[in-house]
Chains A and B, each alone.
Chain A
Amino acid sequence: MARCLYLGSFLFTKIVNTPRISMRVKTCLIKTWTPHSQGKTAKCSTFSNILIKINDMYSSSGKSWLLTSSDFYSLSEEKVIIHFINQDGIRTTTAVTEGQTLLDVVVNKNLDISGFGACEGTLACSTCHLIFDKTFYEKMEPTVDEEMDMLDLAYGLTKTSRLGCQVTVQKWMDGMTVQVPQEVRDAVGSKGNQ
């Protein structure tokens, strides 16, 4: 049993650290193989411990390793996939952990959304304005007055708008798409709302 786990995790880590294999495939692999925080069994925790040991072995032997120890630790947590569409319609996919706000995600992942989060999440501006799909919007905690007050000033406000600094990533948001208002530039280059 131990030998099978060792081989499996060895192959797994090799795949995860091959640059040619797309992030999407790796993310699927990580989500399938890494133990979930719920229903954790002794077998699963041994598995992730083995992953960590392998990683440490390789790190200390001086071989180049594409994922760091802390990546491994964070990989063992559930990742939520969220898609961001920026002001030019460009889509970026992120795999993030629960518990951070969408503003944290934009900042930590250095996403290319111009002028996002000017007041650093203190409900003093509306630049972290994000537009959600109706189904996800309706599942979220209702907006409190203080958020609504700032949201009311946002450019391109919709019925499914929220401030990113007030929305916390949760598991059920897996696969969600959020976007900022799209900018359309006409022939003379002046901004309009799509």
Chain B
Amino acid sequence: SPCLDAKVCIVGGGPAGFYTAQHLVKVSDVSVDIYERLPVPFGLVRFGVAPDHPEVKNVINTFTQTAQHARCSFHGNVRVGKDVTVEELQEAYHAVVLSYGAEGNRTMGVPGEDLAGVYSAKDFVGWYNGLPRNSELRPDLSCETAVILGQGNVALDVARILLSPVDILKKTDITQHALDALAESSVRRVLIVGRRGPLQVACTIKELREMVNLPGTRPEMEASEFEGIAETLKSLARPRKRLTELLLKAAIETPGEEELERRNRAERAWGFRFLRKPLEVLPSTDLIRAAGIRLAVNRLEGDGEGVRAVATGEVEDVECGLVISSIGYKSLLIDPAVPFDARKAIIPNTMGRVQQTAGLYCSGWVKRGPTGVIATTMNDSFDTARTLLQDIGKGTLDVSTVKPGSQGVSALLEKRGVKPVSFSDWEKIDSEETRRGEIKGKPREKMLDVGEMLQVARA
């Protein structure tokens, strides 16, 4: 088999990297090495999935199996682009798959975005999920109203974490410092603001249902924002129809007695606001913090898939002390040797083959853009793996030469004073986090500091 001594390197130890590796080792004889910048694997499954969604993290079990496969090995604490270049990886391996995701975020591009109290959802989520670079975020939760820009699942996760009873959160793997901050939080009202209308919300029904059922909270929305929506229901496909029905129910339907009582007792409120686009974050009198947000009022033009938001000229100010922009993640260029489409913020490719560069492939968000759930990335990664194997089969990817693989890279890293973390080293970190969590009745207490992770890994 031509694959027998073929060596493939994957850059990025998140779902895309692991699913690409999984498919490669399952259906062929290639060997796969996964390089990950952090000492800990799993990417957004660890740092993105909300703490109160532990079942979604079950995929870690299949990733663990892959990492423990004889022909797969994990190398954490290696920064591709800094500790080793993509060119050097291409010399050491027959093929390199770029699966490093989207570590940046789209900015609103409005004045006041740099004021205290304004955060990207990516950083806010990283903060409560223990991403080392967000450990010092210290968001100020001393205001009453929070405004979230964006209406996708990440926006709903943020809203839910801001309003969830602490008694629920304290049993999850949310970081201790976030739990402490949320316990002291004054936030009582969360507005989830989108440019377009109710039929264009990007969130899915499971997340909306969780908001509707969130203990201690009530929905607060303007009936006027839903004019004409009920009439469209019969023409909608089932997923959008059910989502819209639930939204209408929460927003404008008169609740039954029990629900009415529950809402009257609720101390926290949430609601969608539509047809609003941020123009400026308004500063406090001392000009340091956010005190409000100025929104442009839109109207919709066109219909179906082509619906667009168009400014009406009207403007609206909303008082708030916390602004979280949840308008999308963004991939970054990590190495000049890699072609990059700066406008779309993805690596230009055809079915996972990086354009104009033999032996280079990509999978996951860096290939398709930062949308979709884990299963989307899974299918995409399988596709890239298939493309790669097809190329070996056709001979367009030459695996006949002898390549040094991880041995070659290890030599370079050693010279540069970089010590990779193996999967069994990660398992020491994993055990320690689990042990610390057990004491508090949590699934784990995540380490926030890379130095500490490395210490435990080397013990």
Contact = CB atoms under 8 A, between A and B. Distances in A.
B332 interface: no
B238 A125 contact: no
A124 B53 contact: yes
A153 B379 CA distance: 14
Contacts of A56: none
Nearest to B241: A152
Contacts of A188: 351
Contacts of A123: 55
A119 B59 contact: yes
Interface string B354-375: 0000000000000000000111
Which residue among A118, A120, A122, A150 has the maximum number of chain B CB atoms within 10 Å of its CB? A118
Given A124-B53, A125-B375, A145-B209, A152 B239 contact: yes
Nearest to A120: B58
Contact of B378 (A115, A124, A149, A191): A115
Interface in B173-213: 204-206, 209
A153 B55 contact: no
Interface in B363-395: 373-375, 378-379, 382-383, 387, 390
A32 B116 CA distance: 76
Interface in A36-50: none
Interface in A134-176: 145-146, 148-150, 152-153, 155, 157
B56 interface: yes
A119 B379 contact: no
A149 B58 contact: no
B374 A125 contact: yes
Interface string B339-359: 000000000000100000000
Given A150-B206, A152-B204, A152-B205, A118 B59 contact: yes
Nearest to B350: A188
A124 B58 CA distance: 9
A115 B382 contact: yes
A86 interface: no
Interface string A88-125: 00000000000000000000000000110011101111
B285 interface: no
Given A115-B375, A191-B383, A152 B238 contact: yes
B214 to A, nearest CB: 16
B272 to A, nearest CB: 18
Interface residues of B, number: 27
A152 B207 CA distance: 13
A115 B379 contact: yes
Interface in B47-74: 53, 55-56, 58-59, 61-62
A155 B375 CA distance: 10
Contact of B58 (A119, A146, A152): A119
A115 B243 CA distance: 26
Interface string A170-193: 000000000000000000111100
B242 interface: yes
A115 B55 CA distance: 16
Nearest to B387: A189
Contacts of A146: 206
A55 interface: no
B457 to A, nearest CB: 27
A126 interface: yes
14 contacts: A115-B382, A118-B375, A124-B53, A124-B56, A125-B374, A146-B206, A149-B204, A149-B209, A150-B206, A152-B243, A153-B373, A157-B238, A189-B390, A191-B383
Interface of B: 19, 23, 53, 55-56, 58-59, 61-62, 204-206, 209, 238-239, 242-243, 351, 373-375, 378-379, 382-383, 387, 390
Interface of A: 114-115, 118-120, 122-127, 145-146, 148-150, 152-153, 155, 157, 188-191
The 10 closest A-B pairs by CB, nearest first: A122-B55, A152-B239, A124-B55, A120-B58, A124-B56, A149-B206, A149-B205, A119-B58, A115-B378, A127-B375
Given A123-B55, A189-B351, 12 more contacts: A114-B382, A115-B379, A118-B374, A119-B56, A119-B58, A120-B61, A124-B58, A149-B204, A149-B209, A150-B206, A152-B205, A155-B375
